[in-house]
């Protein structure tokens, strides 16, 4: 199938990222915000679930995107930096929604905005599917005492949305096996309302959390398979 000439291909990612880095202070133009779980990328992911040929095609496209993303997110979505999220095993619909948030300005990271705006519909869908298909592993070296404290907090506060196994859902992120540093940083963004991350629900949840609570929860979910 001929690629949509209106959509920039993966080869343009590096250029797009460089352009956005050059305009760090500029505010992104907001695209029309669609309802969660809708839109052409979500439709391609959903269609692939019942169409093996489409699934194969999208995974091939996603593998090529992931090869570029490996510079930051690591081989098959296992990043080496505490502050860059593990994407392996993440829910594909959630990844699609986060990609759209970067594009329309609801999440802020100038490089990610440029990268994701350079992808076609099929490249974005394939990227989400590729990372979702990779095995996720628990993060080693967590303090048993801290993990237990985090477990107690998680069971009381977080289970209702993120699930008993912390693997989330189509609209909630998988936290199991995530870098504790990334989870902690995200909780702090919600707490300070600095615009990097925004969620009314999460801002309400973190209002009652101390930094010690945040570190404990981060250690707990990081320890999960």
Token pair, residue 7, equals: 């959509």
Q: Distance from CA of residue 220 to its chain's centroid?
A: 19
Determine how many CB atoms are found less than 10 A away from the CB of residue 56.
12
Of 217 and 194, more confident: 217
Question: What's the farthest any 2 CA atoms get from each other in the chain?
Answer: 56
The set of residues, in sequence order, having a beta carbon less than 8 Å from that of 89 and lying 6+ positions away, is 77, 131, 132, 134, 135, 136, 167, 174, 176, 177
Q: Tens of pLDDT along 163-182?
A: 999 999 999 999 999 999 99
Q: Give tens-digit pLDDT for 74-124.
A: 999 999 999 999 999 999 999 999 999 999 999 999 999 999 999 999 999
For residue 39, the model assigns a pLDDT of 94
Summarize pLDDT for 63-75 with one digit per residue, the tens.
999 999 999 999 9
For residue 30, the model assigns a pLDDT of 35
How many C-beta atoms lie closer than 10 Å to residue 51's C-beta? 13
Predicted confidence band of residue 190 (pLDDT cuts 50, 70, 90): very high
Q: What is the pLDDT of residue 34?
A: 60
SS3 225: coil
Sign of CA dihedral 210, 199, 172, 105: negative
DSSP annotation string for 34-92: PPTT-SHHHHHHHHHTT-HHHHHHHHHHHHHHHHHHHHHH-GGG--SSTTS---TT--H
Q: Are 178 and 85 in contact (CB under 8 A)?
A: yes
Confidence of residue 207 (pLDDT cuts 50, 70, 90): very high
Q: What are the pLDDT digits (tens) for 7-51? A: 445 555 544 443 333 333 333 333 445 667 789 999 999 999 999
Task: State the average pLDDT for the chain.
Answer: 88
Return the structure tokens found at 166: 């912390």
Angle value at C-alpha 81, between 155 and 133, nearest 5 degrees: 65
Domains detected in the chain: 11-132 (1.10.760.10), 144-222 (1.10.760.10)
């Amino acid at each position: 199938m001929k690629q949509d000439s209106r959509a920039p291909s993966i080869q343009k990612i590096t250029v797009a990222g460089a352009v956005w880095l050059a305009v760090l202070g500029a505010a992104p133009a907001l695209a029309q915000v669609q309802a969660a779980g809708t839109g052409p990328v979500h439709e391609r992911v959903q269609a692939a679930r019942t169409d093996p040929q489409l699934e194969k095609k999208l995974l091939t496209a996603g593998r090529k995107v992931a090869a570029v993303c490996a510079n930051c997110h690591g081989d098959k979505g296992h990043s080496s930096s505490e502050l860059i999220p593990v994407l392996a095993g993440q829910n594909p619909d959630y990844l699609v929604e986060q990609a759209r948030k970067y594009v329309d300005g609801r999440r802020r990271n100038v490089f990610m905005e440029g990268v994701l705006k350079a992808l076609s519909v099929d490249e974005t869908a394939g990227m989400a599917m590729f990372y979702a298909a990779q095995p996720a592993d628990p993060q080693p070296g967590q303090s048993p005492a801290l993990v237990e404290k985090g477990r107690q907090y998680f069971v009381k506060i977080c289970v209702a949305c993120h699930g008993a196994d912390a693997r989330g859902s189509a609209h909630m992120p998988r936290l199991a096996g995530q870098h504790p540093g990334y989870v902690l940083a995200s909780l702090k963004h919600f707490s300070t309302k600095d615009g990097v991350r925004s969620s009314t629900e999460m801002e309400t949840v973190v209002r009652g959390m101390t930094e010690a609570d945040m570190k404990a929860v981060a250690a707990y979910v990081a320890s999960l398979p």
